[in-house]
Amino acid sequence: MKNIEDINRESVKRIVAKKKIPEFFAGDTLKVGVRIAEGKRERIQYFEGVCIAKKNRDINSSFTVRKISFGEGVERTFALYSPIIGSIKVIRSGKVKRAKLYYLRDRKGKSARIAEKIKKRIGIDVAEPIVENQVEKETISKAAAKEEQPKKEDLQKNKDVEQKKKLKKEEIKTEKK
């Protein structure tokens, strides 16, 4: 005889195998695609806001997203594994020290802002095992070389900016004469 927790864990595994759910926390800005049925047709409407709470309870997991719509705060709680949710995309990660951000309800404007968490990137992928030290040195040197080389688009933009500055200086000189 199966326990209820075992059944819930199995159903969560089944859902996660079908649907891609990103890892997110309170403070992150999310874009949640919600399926809306209008008669026979179905469409996806996006709800974008800050995740102020997340509950991890197997199949009963949920999260709350808050946004400001026309000057009014709107909160919506979603069941994480619900079929209503079409997609979840993390727009930016917030740097917060709390698990529940209910204090944002009382705040408006600049005081309701959350600092962005900057994730560090390294040159090699940690998930792949490295066979030899030589391979490791080559991957690090390739990654460093890519970072050092400026992109062609950036070089072109810099040239355009310099040319515009020169033209402005010449125009100013001709106007003064």
Which DSSP letter does residue 8 get?
H
Tokens in use for 137?
A: 């040195």
Is the per-residue pLDDT at 92 higher than 70? Answer: yes
- CA–CA gap between residue 124 and residue 139 (Å, rounded): 7
Position with higher pLDDT, 138 vs 107: 107
Confidence at 169, pLDDT banded by 50, 70, 90: confident
Residue with tokens 């995740």, as numbered in its chain: 51
pTM exceeds 0.75? no
- CA–CA gap between residue 21 and residue 13 (Å, rounded): 12
Q: Please measure the distance between the N-terminal and C-terminal CA atoms of the chain and give it in whole angstroms.
A: 96
Burial of 3 (0-12, 13-18, 19+ CB in 10 A): exposed
Residue with tokens 């900057």, as numbered in its chain: 118
Per-residue CA distances from 95 to 21, 53, 79, 81, 111 (Å): 21, 14, 24, 25, 14
Residue with tokens 């809306």, as numbered in its chain: 36
pLDDT tens profile 23-80: 999 999 999 999 999 999 999 999 999 999 999 998 999 999 999 999 899 999 999 9
Half-sphere exposure of 23 (CA within 13 A, CB side): 0
Task: Give the pLDDT mean for 10-30.
Answer: 93
pLDDT tens profile 131-146: 555 555 555 666 565 5
Q: Is 24 helix (H, G, I), strand (E, B) or coil?
A: coil
- CA–CA gap between residue 175 and residue 46 (Å, rounded): 53
